Each structure stands twice: as C-alpha cells, then as structure tokens.
A = this chain, B = another copy of it.
C-alpha cells in the first residue's frame, strides 16, 4: 500500500425532504448567489424547494451554466459576484453546475488570470464558500475538490483540483433524480463505473480493502442499474445510485492505490472536439484502452471478472479479456454505445485528438507509457 492523505470535509445531507434544511446549513450573515443550469430545476420543483427553504435569502441568481461548463460563462458569474459583493455560492444542479461553481468560487478570489488555474496549475489560495444541491448523480463533484472547465475560444477542456473548493455541504435528495431523462441516468451509471475503474484497473500494491470498496460500488451499480433506468420512482434504487456516484469519486477508494485516468484524459478530447457527453466518451475509450494495456492491467481485470462479472474459469488472461467483454455488455445493457462509429467519428477524425496529445507532449497511464502514438493505437481500437 502506498502512503496517502485522506481529508474530505464535505458535510453530506442525504435523503428525502432534505432540501428543506438548507437554511440551517448556510450562515445567516452570508450574501448568497444561486447558480444553476438550463432551467430544469424550475420544471422539476427543486428551484421552488430551494426558494422556500431560504425564504428570500438569495441575493442574486445566475442561470445558464451549460453542460461542459464554459470558462466564458463562469467569468460572467465572477463579475456578478464581485459587483454584488457575494460571499456564498449555492450551486443547484448536476456536475456541470457544481464544477462551474467551484471554478467561479476559486476565480472570484484569484489574483491574476483565472484561466491559469486550469492551464498553468495556478495555486488556489482562497475560494468563496460553496454549498450544493445535487440533482444529477454522476461525477462525484458534490464531495470532492475536482472541477473540469471548457474554453470555447480554444476548444480546450481542462481540470483542476484544490482542497479549497470542496463543498462545505452537499444535499443529496434521491427524489430529485426522478425527473431525469433516461440518457442522463445512463450517463451517471457509466460515469461512476468508469471513475471506479480509473482507481482500480491498474496494478496491485496490495490494497485488499480498497479493492473491495471499489468492487462494492460497481457491484451495486450493476445490481441497481435496471431499476434506476425504469424511471419508476424507486426510492431505494435511486438512493443507492446517488450514493454510488458519490462514493466512486470522493477520495476514499483511491487511498494508497495506483491510479490511471488515461481514459478520462483521452475522453475529454472527444468531448472537446466532437461534443460527446462525458460518460459517452468514457464508454468508448475504456474498452479500447483496456485491450491495448491488457498485459499491464491483466491481474486487476481478472479480479474484476471474478468478483463483479462472476467469471470463474479460464486463465488470468482469459478472465481479463472476458471482463472487458462483460463490461462492454454492461454498457450496452444500459443503452450506452461503445464505439466511435456510433457517433460517426472516423479514423481521420481521430487525428485531431492525436495531434493535440502530440503538441502537448502529454504522457498518460499508471505506467506513464501512453504517448500520442499509443493514443492513436487506442482510438483505432475504438473505431
């Protein structure tokens, strides 16, 4: 096991009717900005619940954070925050709204050009306090210090992490997921699944507890996905779905383990160039990357096969290969496409992504053995 730090100060408030407790979670002297997305919270009743809970305490609203939140949009919010002297951000929405709000919280306190936080690793020395009401379980951003922001002017999608942007609290009411369209539920399931795999399907440094905690999340996702997708207001299935997505990326299962994240890095470029949803990009890249890196990931993939997909026979290599096939089958079972062809992306199109990795000189993977050349080979396996 590797040495690690684990420190997650986010206060989770989980369950039915918990939005009503919002007023107790934000200090009374705070001037609040409510940040949300395209307005779905006005249709599904969440906006009304938030407004009722805070009884006139919202100083200003900022709507319009888009999927794959844009730097340009976030900077409009920063201007508003500075103009109105806001000192608390309440983000109500899914991963994009919360990621955007984290960047806004950091950018509002940043000396210099905030894009540097993303592009140059500029240190976030302070951030506005942030609370969230999660309405789309998927990314785990409600309980971590991660954020991913896109920039329209340069077709870029970049991530940052800071201990300063962990939400002070996150309200997770599974009933808010009832109104989600099927493709967003499917995306959430696949997103959480792949998050776990980035922290699991590498090589072992003997972390049996963390391995089993990771398997706990994916076994549960597999068990409940059918019930979640029926959209039949199945509370317990929704609750487990929400808690799985949070546990998939809150720092717990990566304690002391070796991580990968190459699938995410390549997937981000598919989103940046071709507009795929985050989870859609992951479901394409993961199987191709696993096939390409089979020799390096074989032991863990075989363990995944045994403990999640119930593959009991065959050699370690055969189990690993069967685990890849079973994972693809699982993605298909939730109606998630797994090839570039499904989105009409051709071999020629791949070159855009390859060129970007070549220009940046990025090296990926737990063995740091994936250069632009391997990205090309991997994406060719994803056609």
Q: Which residues of A are interface residues toward B (Cβ below 8 A)?
A: 1-18, 205-210, 212-213, 215-217, 219-220, 223-224, 235-236, 239-240, 243-244, 247, 252, 255-256
Contacts and interface: CB of A to CB of B under 8 A. Distances in A.
A371 to B, nearest CB: 31
Nearest to A208: B220
Contacts of A6: 11-12, 14
A206 B240 contact: yes
Copies in the complex: 2
Given A1-B240, A240-B1, A256 B14 contact: yes
- Pick the most buried of A3, A209, A210, A244: most chain B CB atoms within 10 A of its CB: A209
Contacts of A255: 14, 243
A247 B14 contact: no
A177 to B, nearest CB: 13
A37 to B, nearest CB: 26
Nearest to A235: B1
Contact of A9 (B9, B205, B223): B9
Contacts of A10: 7
A317 to B, nearest CB: 24
Contacts of A207: 240
A239 B256 contact: yes
Nearest to A17: B3
Contact of A3 (B16, B212, B215, B236): B16
A4 B15 contact: yes
Contacts of A18: 3
A14 B7 contact: no
Given A5-B13, A7-B9, A207-B240, 6 more contacts: A1-B240, A3-B15, A4-B14, A205-B236, A208-B224, A209-B220
B209 A217 contact: yes
